[in-house]
Each structure stands twice: as structure tokens, then as C-alpha cells.
Structure 1
Amino acid sequence: MAEDQQFLGTGWGFPITFEHQGRSLRMASAEDDIRQSLHILLSTGVGERVLRPTFGWKRDALVFEPLSTSFATYLKREIETAILFFEPRIELNTLSFDRAAEGEGRIDIRLDYTIRTTNTRSNLVYPFYLDEATNA
């Protein structure tokens, strides 16, 4: 089991915060590290990361697109490709969209995934804002 935890990794917590009166960084490990990694991946556009220009997905190009079936298909393909290349610790089971907040300029991206080494199922809901000014 310790080997599994080592493969899952430990990294800086996101957002970066300090503990112990500023003497150390808050760290994330195992499943929490994967969840935060997915959030970072979905929040990053291609070209935003220094020294890793291919990291992320084309989210900025999609911000003002009309919400249609072709848009949803393209969005799904972009996210699946980004996860395939940049998060090898998981297997994506399903990717779906919740359009309940569509009128507010937001769709929720729902990821259901399995952590490969521990065979643990988990999910993540990420809000994708269609109107740039509504980012919270």
C-alpha cells in the first residue's frame, strides 16, 4: 500500500498556502493530490504554464462558443485528451456535462474516474464559465 501512495504522489497543495506560521507549505498527497491536479489541469489553458507550453487544454478558445451539441462534443474531446496526456494516474470512466446553470453562463463538467494503482473510484465537478466576466 505504501508503494501505491508513493506512486500517487505528494505535491504542493492548491492553492498554495503556508502552515506553521509561514515556515512550511501545505502539501497534498494521494487522492487529494490527484483531485487538485485535475483542477489545475482544467483551469489551465495551453501555453499558460512556463516551461511546459503544451500543458492544459484549449479552454480559452471555447469561452464564447454557443452551447450546442457540436460544442459539447468538442469540449469533451479536448478534456479527454488533456487527461490522457497529463494525468496518467487515473482512468477516465465517464465525462458528462450538467447544463442546469446554463442560463448563468456556466456548465458543470463532471468527471468520474478510477485511480489506477488503488482501483479507487472518485469524481470531480468542475464549473466551466462560458462568459469570461462571470469567473468566480
Structure 2
Amino acid sequence: MEEENSFLGRGWAFPPAFDAKSKKSVMAEEEEDIRQSLFIIISTTPGERIMNPKFGCDLISSVFDNIDSLAVNRMKDLIRTAILNYEPRITLHEVIIDTSQSFEGVVHITMEYTIRKINVRTNIVYPFYLKEGTNVTGM
């Protein structure tokens, strides 16, 4: 029972979960797998993965930066580089960083991209919390 978009990928859902009935891990497929992959790439600090220490995006280094044009451009570059290196299924068009809530400790990062194999253009918004101790679970 292969789906026509099965080539987009299938993997464990993030965060990992298990179905109580089937006693199997919950899986993410196709566009949802790509969306979750982007969240994982942006959320992972390089060095966290022992077998792939370069994997991730070093956004955490921006937590204490003054939110000015230099910091925004640095964040955009970190995101572009990480996605270019670790998500080959998409073409990233634009990274938009909304700093309107930076005084509340939140910067919204919008990534506009096209899924290469099916030529679908979409976007996601990643809430990057600047306050220490805040956890990102808004997937």
C-alpha cells in the first residue's frame, strides 16, 4: 500500500510517542515529516547528537544578543546554512524574522520553502524563545 508521495519520507513523529492500541511508535509522513524535520534542525544545537556533532542550528547562541539587524541577519544565515546542509527535500526561499515581540522574549521565524519532488510551496513559523528556561513544544 505505497502512497504516491511516500518518497517524501517517513520517520518517528516528534516528539516521539507510542500508540497504546497498536503498541507501535507514531510515525510522521510526507509533508508533516518535512515540517517536523525542520523543527528538529532548528531546535538542535550542534554537538547534541553524538553520532553527528555538526547537525543542527546554533540559534541558542543568539539568546542573549541585542535584537538588531546584525543579530537578525546572523540568525537568518544560521537557519539557511542548517537547512541547506540537513534538509535536501526542500528549496528554502526566504527566512523572515519577526522581532515585534522581542521584548516579551519571543522572535517568530517564518521559513518559506518549496518541497522539491512535488513542487508545493509552503511555510512554517518557528517560535524562538529568548527567555531562559522556556521550552519549545508548539509543533
- Fold conserved (TM > 0.5)? yes
Structure 2 unmatched ranges of 5 or more: none
Structure 2 residue aligned with 1:18: 18
Matches within 5 A, 1:1-136: 5-21=5-21, 23-136=23-136
TM-score w.r.t. the length of structure 2 is 0.90
Cα pair 1:58 1:78 within 8 Å, conserved:
yes
Aligned AA (1:16): P
- Cα RMSD after superposing both structures: 1.6
Cα pair 1:100 1:107 within 8 Å, conserved:
yes
1:58 and 1:15 map into 2 onto residues whose CA distance is 20
Task: Give the Å deviation of 1:4.
Answer: 6.1
Once the two structures are aligned, what percentage of the paired residues are identical? 44
- Structure having the higher helix fraction is 1
Task: Give the Å deviation of 1:22.
Answer: 6.1
Structure 1 unmatched ranges of 5 or more: none
Aligned AA (2:112): D
Aligned AA (1:53): P
Aligned AA (1:103): F
Aligned length, in residue pairs: 135
* Deviation by residue 1:100-135 (Cα, 9 ceiling, x = unmatched): 211111100000110000001111000111222333
Aligned AA (1:102): S
Aligned AA (1:117): K
Task: Give the Å deviation of 1:50.
Answer: 2.3
Task: Give the Å deviation of 1:70.
Answer: 0.4
Aligned AA (1:35): R
SS at match of 2:53: coil
Cα pair 2:12 2:25 within 8 Å, conserved:
yes
Task: Give the Å deviation of 1:80.
Answer: 0.1
Task: Give the Å deviation of 1:67.
Answer: 0.4
Cα pair 2:45 2:56 within 8 Å, conserved:
yes
